[in-house]
Structures are given as structure tokens and as C-alpha cells.
Chain A
């Protein structure tokens, strides 16, 4: 359950921002968790509620954007969408793929007051 320590990382980012941008309450947190990242969004949602209790982000709504997996296929020289690592190129069936997107783990935006 490494999502728990990632949630702690999210909270660290929020608290750093709270000090810098002088806000005391976060109402919404928008994340990007790519389809090829090593993270389960459901586990993040669970962990987020636990680690933010009694913090500036207590009760904040979590919105998770899940960008699709993008890979460059060396066999057909094109960028394709793949649902998971280890899946073949949907165009030519090759496994010679290099992941080029959809592996992000990012805090995008905070709605604060």
C-alpha cells in the first residue's frame, strides 16, 4: 500500500503551498494519475481521507484525472494508446514500445479559501 506514502507526499505539497500562498482551507484537490503509473486511484482516495484528517485539506474533494497510456511503437513508428504496460501496439501487435505518456503522478490544482 505505497499509496499511503504518496498521499503523505500530496499533503506535503499542499502544506508547502498553504504556507507560501497563505490559505487556510483547501476545498478541492485535482490530481493526474496516469493509467501507466504504479498507482491505484481508489487507494489514493482512501489514503487521502486518512492523511488529511485535521489538516488544511480536511474534507477536501479529490478529483482525479486519469490520462491514458501513450507509447511510441518502434515497429510502426507512431504514438499509440495502450491500456497497460506489457500490452502490444494496437496497430501492429509489436511489443517494442516506449512509454511516452500516461505515467504521471501530479498535483495539478488546488481550490482554496
Chain B
């Protein structure tokens, strides 16, 4: 590869079309380098190699799933209920967490892993409640994967006999396919969104164990069709549990806290 222009492998190439070209570069000190590139659609080893078939039969998510299995073992060892919270941006996940942590912090150990593309705003909001939080920035990534969670657990271990909340990147599509090793998957949707979202984004709802409908205090001001939302969600995931609440007024929070306690108890004494 030409180290000046990067010309060589990786250039746009047209298959079967070999060509040569000559060009020159002027370096920062004024020296002129002139050279010829010889491009070729295949390697210079002209021996004909017989092609062969290799059966692979391997799951594309196998690597993610291996890390998810590691996380699951860590959660089991510390008896931690781990929830993967997923939603569109703006459903009120962080506000719900802040309210939950504030209300329950005296009752059990808790911690949060926050996933966002950039900034640590959310982790700072969580830490203001006195509960430990670790921000994972995914950069250009649109979801958390299991390896990111494994790395986060190296910095902030799962709270023993407590609850770990993993707030995924706000995105109703991409996080659906990635197992993080969580105990339960919780999808949060607010009544300011469309009630047809479960049918428009079925993968997310199909993998959820609980749907939280947030901001129900705003229902009187909206034409949101709550029964239709729940019907759509249960078309995608028969029997899906639903909790309606408002983290602003506190309505419905007792059901959410009961759900948490029940699943924590279930971890300690599974049937």
C-alpha cells in the first residue's frame, strides 16, 4: 500500500478489472514522489486453488451470548435481580429510575448502568439520589451489548442481594436483539407516544417480560387509546404483564415496587 495516499487494498475496485496508474505526491518538504500502482482483482499468487465448502452453523450472536452467560453467572453469584430497561428516547426511563431509587434506597442495595451514545448526564442524575451509577457511552453504537455490561461490572460490581437497573440506549429497535444476561426485560412506553408502537416495533415487545406505561397523569389531556396499546402489545407477546404508572404523581408505583419485590424473592427461592 502506498503510505502517502493509502492507495492499494481497500480502494474501490471493479471485479476482474485490472489496471495500472501512475501518480505523484508532493511531501511537506517539497519532495516529489512518483510511483506506479498496479491493481489487480486477485492476489499475485497465480496458482489455482480449489475452493471448498466449510459448514459453520454458528449463531451470529454467539459472541454476545457468551458474554451474556458470564453476566448471568455473576448476577446469580451475587443474587442480583437485573433489569434491562428499554424504550424510545423520552419515555421517562431516567425519571422513573430516579423516583424508584429515591423511594426504595433504604430497602435494598441498588445500582445502575446507564447506556447513552454520549454524555454522562443520566448517570449524574442517578448519582444525585445517592445510588451508584456507571455511565457507558456507546459512541456511535445504538445499543448496549453484553460485553459492555461485563466491562461495566468490572468497575461497578452488581449489588449483592439487590437490584441492578441497566438503562439501555433510548431506541426501540436495536437493543431488542441483544441479551445482556439480565433477569427480566422491561419495556417502558409513555402515553405521549403512539399506541400502535407495539405493532410497529414488534421485536422489542416480543422479547419483553413487562411493559410499563408511563406518564398516565397526562391521559386526560391526550387522545391516547390505552386499551389499544395493551391489545397490540399482547398480540405481539401473549400474556405480557402491564403496569400503568406516573413517576410524577406516584400513581401505580406501588404495583411496580411489588413487582420488583416479587421477582427479587423469586430469585432467592425459585420454584
- Cβ of A51 within 8 Å of any chain B Cβ, yes or no, is no
B198 interface neighbour in A84, A86, A107, Cβ under 8 Å: A86
Give the interface of A toward B (CB within 8 A). Answer: 1-2, 5-6, 9-10, 12-13, 17, 21, 23, 25, 27, 31, 37-39, 53-54, 58-59, 74, 84-86, 88, 95-99, 104-113
* A5-B141 in contact given A59-B15, A85-B203, A111-B51 (Cβ < 8 Å): yes
Q: Is the CB of B238 within 8 A of A112?
A: no
Within 8 A of A (CB), among B13-71: 13, 15, 43, 49-64
CA distance A109 to B143 in the complex (A): 28
- Cβ of B142 within 8 Å of any chain A Cβ, yes or no, is yes
- Cβ of B174 within 8 Å of any chain A Cβ, yes or no, is yes
Chain B interface size range: 35 or more
9 A-B interface contacts by CB (under 8 A)? A2-B178, A6-B177, A17-B54, A85-B203, A86-B202, A95-B235, A108-B56, A109-B56, A111-B54
Q: Tell me which residues across on chain B come within 8 A of A9, comparing CB atoms.
A: 60-64
Q: Which residue of A lies closest to B1 (CB)?
A: A54
Closest Cβ–Cβ distance, residue A76 to chain B (whole Å): 14
Q: Is the CB of B56 within 8 A of A17?
A: yes
Q: Tell me which residues across on chain B come within 8 A of A85, comparing CB atoms.
A: 202-203, 206, 236
Most chain B CB atoms below 10 A, which of A1, A31, A38: A38
A108 interface neighbour in B52, B55, B236, Cβ under 8 Å: B55
CA distance A2 to B172 in the complex (A): 12
Q: Tell me which residues across on chain A come within 8 A of B55, comparing CB atoms.
A: 108-109
Q: Tell me which residues across on chain A come within 8 A of B235, comparing CB atoms.
A: 86, 88, 95
A38 interface neighbour in B52, B54, B176, Cβ under 8 Å: B176
A interface footprint on B54-97 (CB within 8 Å = 1, 0 otherwise):
11111111111000000000000000000000000000000000
B50 interface neighbour in A10, A54, A113, Cβ under 8 Å: A113
CA distance A8 to B50 in the complex (A): 27
Q: Tell me which residues across on chain A come within 8 A of B13, comparing CB atoms.
A: 59
CA distance A2 to B177 in the complex (A): 9
Q: Tell me which residues across on chain B come within 8 A of A53, comparing CB atoms.
A: 10
Q: Is the CB of A96 within 8 A of B238?
A: yes
Closest Cβ–Cβ distance, residue A100 to chain B (whole Å): 13
Q: Is the CB of B202 within 8 A of A107?
A: no
Q: Which residue of A lies closest to B43 (CB)?
A: A25
- Cβ of B153 within 8 Å of any chain A Cβ, yes or no, is no
Q: Is the CB of B173 within 8 A of A97?
A: no
